[in-house]
Structure 1
Amino acid sequence: MKRQTVMIVDDTPANIEILSESLGDDYELFFATSGADALELIRADKPDLILLDIMMPGMDGYQLCGILKDDPGTRDIPIIFVTAMIGEEEEIKGLELGAIDYLTKPISPHIVKARVKNHLELKRYRDLLETLASAADRAKKEFLRSVSHELRTPLTPIIGMTDLVLNTEEDDNKRKYLTMVQKSALRLLGIVEDLIETSRLEGEGMAPENHPFSLKAFLDTVTMEAQTVSSAKGLEFRAAIEPCLPDAIIADQGMLHKVITMLLSNAVKFTPEGEVAFEVSRQEVAGESMLQFAVSDTGVGIDQGDLERIFSEFTQSDGSITRSFPGLGLGLTLARRMTELMDGSIWAENRPDGGSIFQLQIPLVLAETMPGAVASAPAAGVKG
């Protein structure tokens, strides 16, 4: 087994000699007599642990520790300070910088061996846990991918065949049961599609495909789809779209459509009666132009403590909602991940008079007017 490595950083040769004699039989040792030299060596070949003197000319131990802890590539290396001054103020300062322990001078070989051994064992177990967690995560993603595709394959002909039979069947009782089968298959297909999308978004190198498109045509499509779904459930639908929005923008049109559709579908799903509203506006946030979409409803609302949790995997606001509105709770997780890929933000709020509001913001990147684009956006206050 490869021996673990320890970097000793001290400007006093006598201290290096004592530490070397204490640890040389058990570990691979590297040495540096200044903070600058140590930084160069550590970045070239990361050790498993660092023994770091505080009082050194030039870059002292505190400065070197701060640099290493600010660097994602070195921040996880355990650092033990070696010092003759160990007042409470100094100890707190070192621990706040990220050191895990202190050794005091004069150096005791037995204490050095014990401290280094304990902290390297802890690091070994932590590294092992991270490796196991990474392997488990990869296995989970592969399982989701495999199972999702296996489930989707038989669902497609089930949906197609029931649709074919429904077009020819005249018996009302049979049509009733066939419709139930088709709706259940479609719901299951939706869950499978969410699982596939989840595993796809968690893959390496996933990035949005940004292209110019007509914002008006896009909003017309979204509004028409939402109005159709809302009307089918007996809900009123209202769209309020700012009239001075740009003709064309640059974004991932497909990804944006999915996120907005998820929010609107959720609003319809969790609103037994009343209204679903869709508002679009331009906002200035910290000097940056943002395109903001708001989806509000008069539905069941969200527990205050769940406003953030609902964006986690397999989560709905509470058990009673899950029983009334079945599903895996993946939609909002997917919405957040896609929003983050678009450099946007998404959050939920409760309406004072009942129901909830979901806000989506993405950077507004203007494009030249698209061929055939109409200059004005849909009129505010569209109702259905």
Structure 2
Amino acid sequence: MMNALATSPRPAPPPAQPRVTRPAAAAVARTPSERACLIHLLVVDDDVAAIEYLGQLLKGFAQISFATNGEDALRLAELHRPDLVLLDVELPGMDGFEVCRRLRATRGLAELPIIFATSHVDPGIEARALSLGANDFLRKPFDDVQVLARLRTQLRAAAERTDKPEATSQSRTRILIVDDDATSIQLVRSLLADVGECHFALNSAQALSLVGELKPDLILLDIDLPDSDGFHLCKRLRADAALGQVPIMFLTQSHTLGHEARALALGGDDFVRKPFSAPVLCARVRRLVERKRSLERRQVDHDHRQISDGRVAAIVQACKDAILVVDAAGGVVMANAAACALLNVRAQPLSLRLDELLIIDALGRHCVQRASGQRVPVEVSTSTEGEGADALTVHVLRDTRERDREQALARRQTEAAATRRATASMLSYIAHEIGNPVNVIKGFAQLMQAERLSASQADKLAHILDAVGQLSGLLGDVSDVARMESGQFHVELQDVELHTLAGQACEPAAAQAAAVGMLLSAPPPAPPVRVRADARRLRQCLDNLLSNAIKYAGDGICIAVEIEARGPEVVLAVQDRGCGLSEDQLAHLYEPYNRLGRDGGAIPGTGLGLTLTRDLVQAMGGRLEVRSQPGRGCRFEILLAASQPTDNPD
């Protein structure tokens, strides 16, 4: 039945209400699925250890930016618009409080979640941070589980603020009135002015064209319409998935039996007959709008929880440390990728119990028990959420094998250094104490040389003096090694002319070589070549290399001393064509007291010469290199920096 005014001339319809316009594409917020894979965290901290820790913990996010001072933090925040900021209090220049204040005053960043992270224990620091607008506060040292939980909470809160559907972001409720009675429309609009803004359609076609653009919060629907009836329109509206939970109230003059039941069966939410009571209509409208809002809030909460849970799941899966989540019965309900790798399994070990995976060994250490029987030592951090049968315990496991190896290596190095220092101290003492009687023996032997001796006595005295000379040289080497180990060794660098030094060393060495049937050749005459070195110590190094060549090269072998320029360096080399050294001998060449298998032979020596030579060359800023092949001899090269030429004054 049509309204009473339908057969009489219709008054002009009420002025058209402004239609709701949707934001331009560029202004539409990212969808939840898009935001879930575009999380951007900004970590502001000048503590390198904290940066490395957070970088590893949060690795796997699409973007993680770091700033070590306030200015860079503000610039990166403006540039990238991150989803969350982890902010230290103490920063060089601008402190964290000022950074927080400026972020809160920056357009577009005022709602940015900020978590302060600091080692301060003063409760006033936390109060000040929260008063400046911080969302949360963490203290160092960090706990993995706590950091992840706080991130989860703040990401969820941010999602609730920024990801709300368009319908709930409007401050006014939108009501669509579908009726061809202008008087009724005007009356309903005036009654619901305090509830929301009212839009109208005079027939089904107008309603269908307007509803998609308007996205109303409530539809008031008459049964009798010019081009259809309200039942048919209700059915079409309920078939539109985009309308979701929009309530439909039938508002009609119909008193036909069965109309109310049919309207509710087709998806109507309420049925009010005209004439109606104004307070009742307003109360029913408010109830339907509030019910819709409540449903939307629950849906938004559910969606946001899924979004934030997905974000946290991404963090957990990408976390470098192994994470196991265990239920109240001790069964594993979740393991991240790092946990699967630590357990050496491909799939999550959901069929196993924690006490089968995590044990304590005989040394009292926590260990992960692999299926192969291998035990991996771990460091464990535990946190429990919930109570009773619903409790979940999170175990963060960190493989300590690498750390244990590093600590063991550091202990061995410390012990070796202590042993070297103790040995050096002992050697220095022994060399000093033995040196006095050796000097006495040498002095009296020299006095005896001045006396008239038989040939046999003179030969024996020569042997004594030779032995004393070797012992004095050994004591000198031991003293030098002791000073090297104790850090008390010093060299005096100056310009040294190599041809002169080589000639001085080659003259006595040539006589020694000739005595055993060897030929020693000195560098040919050439223009002066100067290097930065300690002349006495460089002569000592060359003497050691020549002595070794004469001792070990073999009878009839030629030995050559060579000098050549090589870029900014100068090479002083000793080349022999003797038996050479094997790869295994080269690997142990500079070990003190190691004579490379020649102990106990007729050739005298202690195994200190090359070690001392290398250390002396390094002390002068150079390096000692060796090239050798078995059967082809050895080439030892001392490389030193060439002296810088100076201009002679006119």
Are residue 297 (structure 1) and residue 579 (structure 2) matched?
A: no
1:360 and 1:89, CA in 2 relative to 1: closer, same or farther beyond 3 A? Answer: farther
Residue equivalent to 2:546: 264
Q: CA deviation at 1:257?
A: 1.3
Give the Cα–Cα distance (whole angstroms) in 1 for the partners of residues 400 and 54 of structure 2: 12
2:545 aligned partner, one-letter code: L
Matched, 1:54 2:58: yes
Residues 235 and 89 of structure 1: CA distance in aligned 2, closer, same or farther (over 3 Å): farther
Describe how 1:226-375 pairs up with structure 2 within 5 A.
Answer: 226-241=509-524, 243-246=526-529, 248-274=530-556, 275-284=558-567, 289-319=568-598, 322-350=600-628, 354-368=632-646
Q: Deviations over 1:228-248 (max 9, x none)?
A: 3323444322123472453x4
Q: Structure 1 residue 116: deviation in Å? A: 9.0
Residue identity matched to 1:347: E
Contact kept? 1:242, 1:281, Cα under 8 Å: no
Q: Distance in 2 between matches of 1:204 and 1:180?
A: 36
Distance 2:402 2:583 in 1: 42
Q: CA RMSD in A?
A: 4.2
Question: Judging changes above 3 Å, is the alpha-carbon distance between structure 1 residues 360 and 249 closer, same or farther for their aligned structure 2 residues?
Answer: closer
Q: CA deviation at 1:178?
A: 1.9
Superposition pairs of residues 153-172 of structure 1, within 5 angstroms: 153-172=436-455
- Residue identity opposite 1:193 in structure 2: G
**1:148 paired to 2:155:** no
Q: Distance in 2 between matches of 1:186 and 1:83?
A: 66
The 1:169–1:329 alpha-carbon spacing in structure 2 relative to 1, beyond 3 Å, is: farther
Q: Please give the alpha-carbon distance, in whole angstroms, between the structure 2 residues aligned to 1:292 and 1:224.
A: 20
Displacement, 1:355? 3.2
Alignment CA distance shift 1:334-1:117 (3 Å):
closer
Q: Answer whether contact 2:623 2:638 (CA < 8 A) is retained.
A: yes
Q: Tell me the TM-score normalized by structure 1.
A: 0.64
**Is the 1:230–1:268 Cα contact (8 Å) retained in structure 2?**
yes
Query: Structure 1 pair 171/143, CA: closer, same or farther in 2 (3 Å)?
Result: same
The letter of the residue matching 2:612 is L
Counterpart contact for 1:296–1:356, Cα < 8 Å = yes
State the shift of 1:278 in Å: 1.0
8 Å contact kept, 2:623–2:639: yes
- With over 3 angstroms needed to count, the CA separation of the structure-2 counterparts of 1:88 and 1:229, relative to structure 1, is farther
Query: Which structure 2 residues correspond to residues 74-93 of structure 1 after superposition, within 5 A?
Result: 81-82=320-321, 85-86=336-337
1:366 and 1:168 map into 2 onto residues whose CA distance is 53
CA spacing shift, 1:324–1:110, aligned 2, 3 Å: farther
- 1:320-346 per-position Cα deviation (integer Å, ceiling 9, x unaligned): x64131321100001111122223222
**Structure 1 segments unaligned to the other structure (5+ residues):** 1-32, 44-48, 61-78, 93-99, 371-384
Q: Does 1:176 align with 2:459?
A: yes
On the 8 A contact 2:474/2:606 being kept in 1, the answer is: yes
CA deviation after TM superposition for structure 1 residue 258, in Å: 1.3
Letter in 2 for 1:332: L
In the alignment, which residue of structure 2 is the partner of 1:9?
none
Compared CA separation, residues 293 and 117, structure 1 to 2 (3 A): closer
Q: Does 1:186 align with 2:193?
A: no
Q: TM-score, normalised by structure 2?
A: 0.40
Structure 1 position 123, deviation (Å): 7.7
CA 1:322–1:280 in 2, change beyond 3 Å: closer, same or farther? farther
Q: Shift of residue 189 of structure 1?
A: 1.8
Q: Distance in 2 between matches of 1:42 and 1:159?
A: 66
1:120 and 1:282 map into 2 onto residues whose CA distance is 46
Q: Secondary structure at the match of 1:307?
A: helix
For residues 103 and 119 of structure 1, the distance between their equivalents in structure 2, rounded to whole angstroms, comes to 16
Residue 137 of structure 1 is matched in structure 2 by 420
Counterpart amino acid of residue 429 in structure 2: S
Name 1:66's counterpart in structure 2. Answer: none
Aligned partner letter, 1:310 = L
CA deviations on 1:181-217 (whole Å, 9 max, x unpaired) are 2222222222111111111122326453211244443
Instruction: Report if the CA contact (8 A) 1:250-1:367 is conserved.
Output: no
Native 8 Å contact 2:382 2:394 kept in 1: no
The corresponding residue for 2:122 is none
Mark the CA change 1:128 to 1:83 in structure 2 (over 3 Å): closer, same or farther.
Answer: closer
Decide whether aligned partners of structure 1 residues 118 and 185 sit closer, same or farther in structure 2, where only a CA change above 3 A counts. same
Question: Which residue matches 1:11?
Answer: none
SS at match of 1:190: helix
Residue identity opposite 2:636 in structure 1: F
Measured at CA, do residues 236 and 148 of structure 1 come closer, stay the same or move farther in structure 2, by a change above 3 Å? same
Question: Which of 202, 212, 218 matches 2:495?
Answer: 212
Asked if the contact 1:344/1:360 (under 8 Å) is kept, the reply is: yes
Q: 1:277 to 1:292 in 2, by over 3 A?
A: same
- Unaligned residue ranges in structure 2 (runs of 5+): 1-41, 68-143, 145-318, 324-335, 345-376, 385-391
Partner deviation per Cα, 1:244-287 (whole Å, 9 max, x = no partner):
453x4432222211111110111122244222211111123xxx
Query: 1:203 is matched with which residue?
Result: 486
Give the AA of the match of 2:337: I
Contact 1:148 1:195 in 2 (8 A): yes
Q: Is the alpha carbon distance of 1:277 and 1:138 closer, same or farther for their aligned partners in structure 2, counting shifts above 3 Å?
A: same
User: In 1, distance between residues paired with 2:405 and 2:584?
Assistant: 35
1-structure distance, mates of 2:394, 2:341: 24
User: In structure 1, what is the equivalent of residue 48 of structure 2?
Assistant: 39
- Deviation of the 1:59 alpha carbon: 4.1
Equivalent position of 2:265 in the other structure: none
Letter in 2 for 1:36: D
Question: Residues 109 and 271 from structure 1, CA distance in 2 versus in 1: closer, same or farther, beyond 3 angstroms?
Answer: same
**Conserved in 1, the CA contact under 8 Å of 2:322 and 2:398?**
no
Q: CA, structure 1 residues 123+369, in 2 after alignment: closer, same or farther (shift >3 Å)? A: closer
Q: Which has the higher contact order (CA 8 A, sep 6+)?
A: 1
Query: Measured at CA, do residues 109 and 220 of structure 1 come closer, stay the same or move farther in structure 2, by a change above 3 Å?
Result: farther
Matched residue type, 2:596: S
Q: For 1:225, which of 496, 499, 508 is the aligned residue?
A: 508
Question: What are the residue-to-residue correspondences of 1:97-108 with 2, within 5 Å?
Answer: none
- In structure 1, what residue type is equivalent to 2:618? E
Q: Which amino acid aligns with 2:620?
A: M
